[in-house]
Structures are given as C-alpha cells and as structure tokens.
C-alpha cells in the first residue's frame, strides 16, 4: 500500500483500512516511506538481510506487492544487487521462504 505524502490521512482513509485489527488480532506492518528510488531499494535489501522466520516471510510477501505496484523499483532492485540478496537469503531460508522468494 502506498500513501501519498501530498494528501492528508483523512483523504486516504480507505487505504488505511488494511491497518485495522482483523478478527481481533493486531496485524504487523512494514512501512516504507516513498523516498528516492535508491533509498527505497536499499531499505528493502537491508530488511531482507536483517530478518528471519516469520518476519522474513512478511518482508518477502511485501516485496512482491511492492514490485507489482512499482515497476521502476524492480529494475533498480536488480541493479543494486537485489538478486544476489535474494539468492543469499534463499540459501539460508527454509523451503517455505524459498517459495516466497520465487513468487517475488
């Protein structure tokens, strides 16, 4: 999900619905501020290198959504050694996480 920094939160309330509790459970979210492309890519790569388990699974799923929403980010991710990062994370991850990597 992307929020427009030029608009108020009230104007984007529909986009924030996903941040609500679901079935009484509080959902964890990763927030990436829209900044320069290279900064966003670096933040994604750092996140992948520095998390594991369930948090890594969430990060990989989020990465897939980010790639679908921002095609420019995919190219920059590849140029910034993002594929190397995914390979390294994949060799250290369990089979479940490897599936998330392939989906990304």
Q: What pLDDT does 45 receive?
A: 94
DSSP class of 23: T
Please tell me the distance from the alpha carbon of residue 27 to that of residue 6, in angstroms, as a whole number: 26
**What is the DSSP track for 73-96?**
HHHHHHHTTHHHHHHHHHHHS-HH
The helix/strand/coil state of 32 is coil
Any domain includes 93: yes
Any domain includes 55: yes
Any domain includes 34: no
Kindly list the averaged pLDDT for each block of 10 residues, start to end, along the chain of length 104.
71 72 65 73 92 88 86 91 90 73 66
Total-model pTM = 0.60
Q: What pLDDT does 75 receive?
A: 92
Q: Structural domain tally of the chain? A: 1
Q: What pLDDT does 62 receive?
A: 87
Any domain includes 74: yes
Q: What pLDDT does 84 receive?
A: 93
Any domain includes 8: no
- The backbone torsions φ and ψ at residue 51, rounded to the nearest 5 degrees and listed phi first, read -130, 165
Any domain includes 14: no
Any domain includes 9: no
Any domain includes 82: yes
Please tell me the distance from the alpha carbon of residue 45 to that of residue 81, in angstroms, as a whole number: 9
Q: What pLDDT does 85 receive?
A: 92
The parent domain of residue 69 ranges over 39-104
Please tell me the distance from the alpha carbon of residue 57 to that of residue 94, in angstroms, as a whole number: 10
């Amino acid at each position: 999900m992307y929020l427009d920094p030029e608009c108020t939160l009230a104007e984007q309330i529909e986009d924030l619905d996903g941040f609500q509790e679901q079935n009484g459970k509080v959902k964890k979210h990763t927030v990436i501020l829209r900044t320069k492309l290279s900064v966003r890519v670096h933040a994604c790569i750092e996140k992948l290198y520095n998390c594991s388990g369930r948090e890594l699974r969430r990060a990989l799923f989020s990465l897939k959504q980010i790639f679908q929403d921002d095609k420019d980010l995919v190219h920059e991710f590849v140029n910034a050694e993002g594929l190397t990062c995914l390979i390294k994370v994949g060799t250290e991850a369990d089979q479940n996480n490897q599936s998330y990597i392939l989906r990304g």
